[in-house]
Amino acid sequence: MQINKENIEEYLLDYSENNISEKDKKCVEDFLRKNPKYREMIEGLSDFKLNGENAVFEKKDSLKHTSEFDYPEFSYVDRLAVSVLEGVATSKELSEYQKLISESASFKKDVALYSQTKLQADSQIVYENKNDLKHFAFVFWRYAAAVAAVLIAGILTAVFYKDENISATSVYSYNFQVKIREAVVQEKIVENITAAAKPKIKQVVPLPEKKEDDITDIIIEKTENETLAGADLSSLRVENVLKNELPQTEVPKILAEKSEPQTKTKTNFIGSRLFRFAKKIDVEVYRNDDGSFFALDLITPNKKYSLKKL
Amino acid sequence: MTREEFNKCADMYSDFVFRFVLKNISDYTSAEDIVQDSYEKMWLRHENIDFQKAKSYLFACAYSTMIDFLRKNHSKISTPIETGLNIAQESFPQFDGIKEALEFALKKLPAEQRSVIILRDYEGYSYEEISKITSLSLSAVKVYIFRGRVAMKNMLEKSGVTVTEF
């Protein structure tokens, strides 16, 4: 290695601290022997030591973040109160908090206000349609079963409906089936009838005598704000299906009043309900979107009435 | 998470998520939609989600959807952390009871402050958990909670309602 004036400084510090290889040391000493002025540069170098290792930074605490909410732009009172409220206060903060509580009325007031900001969940608020969130296996079969129930009920209905000599036992059985049908179809009706005109029966009186093809007038009393618009009520009749089996007094004649044209239109009645169980005689008439009327049949275990459009 | 566990989540957590969203957006129908949306998102990934973490996942979904909803409706989402707090300087009506005043104060908070306080108080989540749910930094969560509380306290003070001293 060649040491010259250009690179001697790179070696001088290491040489002075004896932190150099023997080979380099020898080269440096050769160079210094030939150039004594460089020796002067390193003389006393080893005596020059910084004497600051005992100096300490006395404000260490000011560098630390001891509080969870160390935001100097806010008052100490706010920071202390929120720390305690949030349950993150240090032991030092807690003791200061206790001290201030006992000494300062305004701090006490602030703490009272802060305690009110702790929210309580309202358990009255619940999500009502939890089942809608769930995912069930074999969903298809659930719907298929419902559809099958409707179809079976429909078939049974058609069969029994033609049977005029239906027995009390079979009527009961029949009712059971129709109830299923009603329950299924009812969902549609409830959903789609928003302003159904529900006429009220004004009077039900027995027919004076049995007739083979008894047709009576139905006059329908208007309901509040929901009447039948343009209803040609003469086209509706009550048909006694089992009239031959029923005592004469049980065959009703329904008298009601004709309605005024309605101002409110009924919307979207989809689907139909053929049978409805009721202990009292009741009639419901709905108007479809096309203006036609749909009358519900009424069946009770001992009486059957069919309200049909002619 | 299995299908059964997922359905269990519907029974166990939907009320909590619903309350959280409803309290934030004050719109019953939209809150229901956000709950449904959150559960559908979880269903899509339910096989990869641990049942134990389902609740946090639901809250995270709900929070994200809710913030989008609020943005679309031009609601105030957040205030920059650097800026000062000025909500308490706004004027607001006087109230008869502390409950009404508190409701009002809560609604006046920016959505992010309101959300983190609700998560903290309703669900008792830690700052770290809230940070994960909201994707906010830990320091932002702390700042929002602190600022929210100070703002609510100042608003209660200005409302003139009587508060029983501590």
In the numeric block, which tokens belong to residue A253? 């004649």
| CA dist., res. A289 & res. B163, Å (int) | 60
Q: How far is B72 from chain A (nearest CA, A)?
A: 24
- Is the Cβ–Cβ distance between B64 and B22 less than 8 Å? no
Secondary structure of A168-229 in the HEC alphabet? HHHHHHHHHHHHHHHHHHHHHHHHHCCCCCCCECCEEEECCCCCCCCCCCCCCECECCECCC
* Side-chain-facing half-sphere of A20: CA atoms under 13 Å: 18
Q: What is the mean pLDDT of residues A171-200?
A: 31
Q: What percent of chain A has pLDDT over 70?
A: 43
pLDDT in tens, A118-158: 888 888 888 988 888 887 765 566 667 777 777 777 666 65
Residue A221's CB is within 10 A of a number of other CB atoms, namely 15
Q: Exposed/middle/buried for B108, CB within 10 Å: 0-12, 13-18, 19+?
A: middle
Question: In chain B, what is the greatest distance between 2 CA atoms, to the nearest angstrom?
Answer: 52
Q: How far apart are the first and last CA of chain B?
A: 46
Partnered with residue B92 across adjacent β-strands are none
Q: How confident is the model at residue B9 (pLDDT cuts 50, 70, 90)?
A: very high
> Is A113–B6 a contact, with Cβ atoms under 8 angstroms apart?
no
Q: What share of chain B is helix, strand, coil (3-state, %, to 5)?
A: 75, 0, 25
The pTM is what? Answer: 0.52
In the numeric block, which tokens belong to residue B153? 């306290």
Q: Report the residue of A77, A123, A134, A138 to disrupt the B interface, i.e. the one with the largest count of B CBs within 10 Å.
A: A134
- Residue A263's H or E segment, with its range, is none
> Is B6–A135 a contact, with Cβ atoms under 8 angstroms apart?
yes
A245: pLDDT strictly greater than 50:
no
The confidence score (pLDDT) of residue B161 equals 73
Specify the DSSP class assigned to residue A233. G
- Is the Cβ–Cβ distance between A160 and A249 less than 8 Å? no
Residues on B contacting A at a C-beta cutoff of 8 Å:
3, 6-7, 10-11, 14-19, 22, 32, 35-36, 39, 43, 84, 98, 102, 105-106, 117-118, 120-122, 142-143, 145-146, 148-150, 152-153, 156-157, 163-166
CB-nearest to A113 from B106, B122, B156 is B156
Q: What is the ipTM of this complex?
A: 0.81
Q: Which residues of A touch B153 (CB under 8 A)?
A: 78, 81, 110, 113-114, 116-117
In the numeric block, which tokens belong to residue A149? 């129930």
Specify the DSSP class assigned to residue A45. G
Q: Which residues of B touch A131 (CB under 8 A)?
A: 10
Domains in chain B with CATH codes? 3-72 (1.10.1740), 87-159 (1.10.10.10)
| CA dist., res. A93 & res. A81, Å (int) | 9
CB-nearest to A108 from B10, B152, B165 is B165
Query: What is the full DSSP assignment across A140-157?
Result: HHHHHHHHHHHHHHHHHH
Q: What is the mean pLDDT of residues A58-74?
A: 76
CB-nearest to A109 from B6, B17, B165 is B165
The confidence score (pLDDT) of residue B90 equals 60
| CA dist., res. A83 & res. A67, Å (int) | 8
- Is the Cβ–Cβ distance between A182 and A271 less than 8 Å? no
